[in-house]
Amino acid sequence: MPPYVFPAPATTLLSFSELCVDPSSTNTVILADATQARSKLRNALKDVEAKNADWLIVLDSVQGYLPYLLGVINSLEADDLLPRNEPNELNPFRLSPAFPWKSVITSSSMGSSSMQNLPAFGSELVMTLTCYAAALSNLASDTLRDPQSSGYTGSGDRHRITSTAEDKRKIDKLAQAADMLCRASGLFDYVAQTLLPTWEARIADSTDVKSGALRLGKGKARMPGEFSRDVQRALAM
C-alpha cells in the first residue's frame, strides 16, 4: 500500500531584508537570494495545491531554499545578522519575526487549517524540514502508484512482466521509493529528536532569545502539529 499522502502546506511571500538587520551591509546579496529561494518554494506549493505541478518541483524548491535558511540562522547565531524588533525590558520574551504557514499535519477538523504566524526562524526551519519530508513521502507514493512500478502489465491477464529490462525498471523504481521514504523518516526523526529539543532548551533558560528560537510554553497549545515531538516521532515510523 502506498504511504499516506500529505496535503500541501502553504505560506506567504516575505523578504529577509525586512526580517533581519545587516550591521555590516555585507549580506545584502545573501538576503536577496534567500528571499528569492523562499519565494520559489512558496510558488511551488501554490502550484501543487492547484494541481498545476507535482511534488518534484516542491522537492527541488525546498532543497534550494534550505541552505539559505540555514545560512541566515548561522549568521544570526554569529551576530553577523540581527533579528528586527529585539526583545526589550518591556517585552523581554518578544520573538521576531513571524513566519506565516498553513500546517501540513494538523487537519481542518482540528480548527487549525488556516494560516498561522509562527514565531521566529526556529519555526521556519521546523516547517521547512517537515515540508521537505512530506515532499519525499508524497513522491514515493506517486512512484508506488505508477503502474510501471507494478509487477503486472495492467492487462486483464495480470501476468507478470518477464522482460529483464522491465523487471529492472520496476526494481529501480521501488528502490527509489524506499530511499525517499527512508529520507523522509530521517527528517521527521531529526525534527523530533534534535531540532525541537534544541529550540525548546534555548527558550527554557531564556538566555538566547536573540537567535529567534521557538517560544513554546504559554502558547504551545496553539502551535500546529509540526511542533509536537510525539507527532514527528510517529511520522518517522
Residue whose C-alpha cell reads 521557538 in the numeric block: 214
Q: Are 130 and 104 in contact (CB under 8 A)?
A: yes
Written as one string, the DSSP assignment of 85-153 is: S---SS-TT----EEEEE-SSS-GGGT--S-EEEEHHHHHHHHHHHHHHHHHHHHHHHHHHSGGGSSB-
pLDDT of residue 132 exceeding 50, the answer is yes
pLDDT of residue 90 exceeding 50, the answer is no
pLDDT of residue 43 exceeding 90, the answer is yes
Average pLDDT over residues 173-177: 90
And the C-alpha cell for 224? 500546529
Q: If you average pLDDT over every residue of the chain, what do you get? A: 80
CA distance 64 to 30: 13
pLDDT of res. 11: 95
Polymer length in residues for the chain: 237
Q: Are 80 and 24 in contact (CB under 8 A)?
A: yes
Is this prediction's pTM over 0.95? no
pLDDT of residue 153 exceeding 70, the answer is no
pLDDT of residue 184 exceeding 90, the answer is yes
3-class SS at 21?
A: strand
How would you classify the pairing of strands 20-21 and 82-83? antiparallel
Q: Are 40 and 58 in contact (CB under 8 A)?
A: no
Local structure of residue 170 (DSSP, 8 states): H
Domain ranges of the chain: 10-87+111-236
pLDDT of res. 100: 92
Q: Are 95 and 108 in contact (CB under 8 A)?
A: no
Q: Are 106 and 134 in contact (CB under 8 A)?
A: no
pLDDT of residue 209 exceeding 80, the answer is no
